[in-house]
Structure 1
Amino acid sequence: MWRCAVLSVCCVSLAMAQLGLIDDFDPYSNHEACGPNEYFERCTHDCPPEKTCETRKIGISCLDVITPCIPKCICKEGFYRKSPGGECISEEECGPACGEGEEYKDCRNPCVDESCDAMGSLIPNCTIPEPCEPGCACKEGFYKLYNFTSICVPKCYCRQLRDTPECTNFVYKQTQAPTFNIRIADNMWKCALLLSVCYLGLAAAQELSEDVNPSYFPPACGENEYFEKCTHECPPEKTCQTRLITVYCPAVVMPCIPKCVCKPGYYRNGPGGPCISEEECGPACREGEEYKECRNPCVDESCDAMGSLIPGCKSPETCEPGCACREGFYKLYNFFCVPKCYCPALKNTPECRN
């Protein structure tokens, strides 16, 4: 029950600040007049922050938590802050805006290949137009992760650089929870009234939550499983088929999912299947690969050769099993098997552009 008392005190403070029951703390009673193209909003939040001219096209992911209300003046629809804390102006007055990881250039070179594969090298046989054209381009040190998207990411997100010494210590930024302070009021009778109501409400809520919260009564887990109070949707639980595939998750804090997971050294025999040992799983291949009982080691799987035979190579008499690139996949930089349209020689062909 001590938790209820602590939570009740927090609830009282939040309620007094949120509902304006304490006159000295009421942010709505004497709010200042808003500026041109603004209006007063009783409840805004730290996240997402108000959009500015520069950030209006950038998507921001916020924590899946309830944050306190912040009453303030905000821009009307169709208007944006000229800068953080600046005046609200129309989108036409803002001028051009680019996406996250991009910057606007008065003279953009369309012959620069911004993909992770090319990393800023010039496109072969590309002619720069004489009238220089303005537009958005990746910032310095940023490249496009996939050719079919326009998202510019830091270079350490590119596959061929992820495991380099420079990128090993790369820190992925995460959104931080906002902090706030609440003052203690002197009006004791209002505090006592709120405390009583809040105490009873929280106590009832706790009793109800214990009936439905799986962390209080964890389900019986299967063989080679154990109950984990906090798992996440990403990365997903590894299966026999995906245990060698690395999954990169977005840099945001995700809500906890209580469930049974496989013990270390065990993997799902298919999504939602039983947990079995790695020996029982059998062979596994990486993303873009498949297991073959008879693999031909004389096939050059690189993007340059595209499945042609290695000159002077002799296949062993005894057929050997192993992993090979799937049909239509080739090794980019002799490392990962990727769809053929990721290969530099094909990415600009009519087949791959569509």
Structure 2
Amino acid sequence: MDRARVLVCLCVCVAIVHGQVASICRPNERLLMCGGCQKTCLDPVPECKGVCRPGCYCNDDEVRNATGHCVKLSECPRLPASYKQQTTEPRPADAKCPDNEEYRFCEACNKTCENPNPICPAQCARGCFCKKDLVRDRDGRCVKLEKCSNKSSNEIPHTSPLDKPVNDSLTCKQNQIFKPCGNCEKSCSNPKPICPAQCSRGCFCKDGFYKAPNGDCVTIDKCPKAVPVTLKPPPIAYELTCGPNQVFKPCENCEKTCSNPNPQCPAQCSRGCFCKDGLYKAPNGECVKLEQCPKGL
């Protein structure tokens, strides 16, 4: 247990003895022995897994402002346009939502006319969501399920905080569809990927198509053929560029020289022109026999 936690625990114990627990924290705050990250105006829903800190935390539905006081989210100053929140949905101005909608800090997905009982991903987002017992129709309005239109579509016609693209003008390319929760995409280079648990929204290749290197979605037979990898460069071309009594080696860790005929070679190697076996590099750069090395080296 770290010193800060011990200090807080001692303060709490002393306060309990003297009946002063409530005076430890300021108004609109509560004491938590194992709290996570502080909710703030800039980040009202912080990702804080595995964090356990004792201290004073804002009450539910309140966040800490720039001066350190706990206020309602609607009382927070509006964020500048240049500020980008790390979230799937920006906070509405003054936290005001349209009719039949309410602002929620952590909601996994929206119920819609097409899918009133969705299987929601593990991650959540904050934004405006339909109130209880309402679903979102094709026009983006929150209505009762019995008022939904009988028209159906295979596309995603409605817009909602979790189901719409980040950019409203986003249109998917040919052979692509928009998915509110896609975790990975098959590609020509990796037709059977191991997909992570976390998902993201965006344009993905349709079923039966694979992402080509140029970004197009094509059938597997239209994928470009793999170019065979040449592990060793053509020896003739490199022999022409190397000097007399030298050969090209793709991986050589050291070279014997007249001054060091028995070197201690490192594990790392490099490619280039090296003296042929049985020859040693002289000070002038030529590869010679050991008996031809200059004396006195």
Fold-level similarity (TM above 0.5): no
> TM tier, shorter chain?
under 0.3
Q: Structure with the greater relative contact order (CA < 8 A, sep ≥ 6): 1 or 2?
A: 1
TM-score if structure 2 supplies the norm length? 0.27
TM-score if structure 1 supplies the norm length? 0.24
Greater Rg over alpha carbons, structure: 2
Query: Higher helix fraction: Structure 1 or Structure 2?
Result: 1
